[in-house]
Amino acid sequence: MFVNEYGAASTYYVPITVNTTDKNSDPDVVDSIQQQTGFFFGDGEQTRIIESWFLSGRVESPALIALKDTYAAGAVIGGTGAGTTCLSSTVMVTGGLSWSGLVYGSCNCTSHPDDPNDGLTYDPDGGLGVIDDVVLDTHFSESGREGRLIRLLADTMGLSRGAEVGVGVDENTAFVVYDIGTSSQRGTVLGENGVFFADMDHAHIHFNPFDIEHVDCHYLTEKDEYNFLRDEVTYASYKKNLIGDEMNPNAETSSDVFSNPTRQPRQYGEFRRVAVNLLDSRDDSHTCGRSYMSGPYYYVDFTQIEKSSAAYGNHPNYGHRLISYEDIHIDIDQSSHPNCGL
């Protein structure tokens, strides 16, 4: 695929898996890694990637050191699914649904096989350490992972490997980050869908039961740019200001805001749909959504604030209408909101 479709001169399969962990110290493998100009981690389970590339005691293997040295010299590192989630040095999400995370909290463990509710789990030692200070998640809007990312940030941002910013990448979408580790660190969105950002800097958090207010959220699409240092969004040049040019009179709601997989037929990307529709409504500055699972229900408030902004345009490659937004406030709690009709 890399050679035939994407124009790579050649490829090398790095033979490091959970069944061949000895290869992470093989001099021939290390030498081959040092010859590459790019690396791509596949999907699967991020815990397997960590197990494969570290020695016992969470010591970086010679292969991982070589990969990082080659990256520092100018190589590209990317991944899909678990291969993206594992790239950060911060706490690494390993599983769970949004509703379960909001109700039960996160578990400091790499797996939770006996939890019938698919509990939120994470690895406190983080991932491979390619990028710092941001928690990564994937298959994002489609799987309704906004709640689990926000809960994980809330539970862990005070830890040594915690972070206040979370980034969720949608399917068939990439977030390309440049100048990592410098004051110019920035990322650009490429692909069919978008990238979600949750910033906890101004959030108010309560536990037992969990509720959170004032999570600052952005959602960016094709060619939009995010500056990490300034928490600043630059919309793509082909997009127009959406304010004053909205398509709908009123905002919509959802009774399955986290796209629960037990619902048939499943409603993919409900959180994204409700948030984007709010910005595309003329008369409303607030709406809400409710979890599909009950006992308890969890509700999400979406609010436009004074500094909220939005932009729109037709996707240059796929043709569909794209909407990006910056700075809407998200509140999540167990309080019902009858004015939203839920």
Long-range contacts of 3-10 (CB under 8 A, 24+ apart): 8/38
Query: Domains along the chain?
Result: 21-234 (3.40.50.880), 241-309+332-340 (no CATH)
| Digit-coded pLDDT (tens) for 262-281 | 898 999 999 999 999 999 99
Give the tens place of pLDDT for each residue, 20-73. 999 999 999 999 999 999 999 999 999 999 999 999 999 999 999 999 999 999
- pLDDT tens per residue, range 226-251: 999 999 999 999 999 999 999 999 99
Mind giving me the DSSP string for 85-123?
Answer: HTTBSS-EEEE--HHHHHHH-EEEBS--TT-TT--EEEE
The band of 201, judged by pLDDT with boundaries at 50, 70 and 90, is very high
Three-state SS at 337 = coil
Share of the chain above pLDDT 90, in %: 93
CB 122 within 8 A of CB 83: no
Helical H segments across the chain, by residue range = 27-34, 46-53, 62-72, 82-85, 98-104, 146-156, 270-279
**pLDDT of residue 108 exceeding 90:** no
pTM: 0.96
Asked if residues 2 and 11 have their Cβ atoms less than 8 Å apart, the reply is: yes
Helix axes 62-72, 46-53, angle to 10 degrees: 100
State the pLDDT at residue 335. Answer: 86
- Supply 322's token pair: 């794209």
For residue 115, pLDDT beyond 70: no
pLDDT class for 338, splitting at 50, 70, 90?
Answer: low
Task: Report the pLDDT averaged over residues 105-122.
Answer: 77
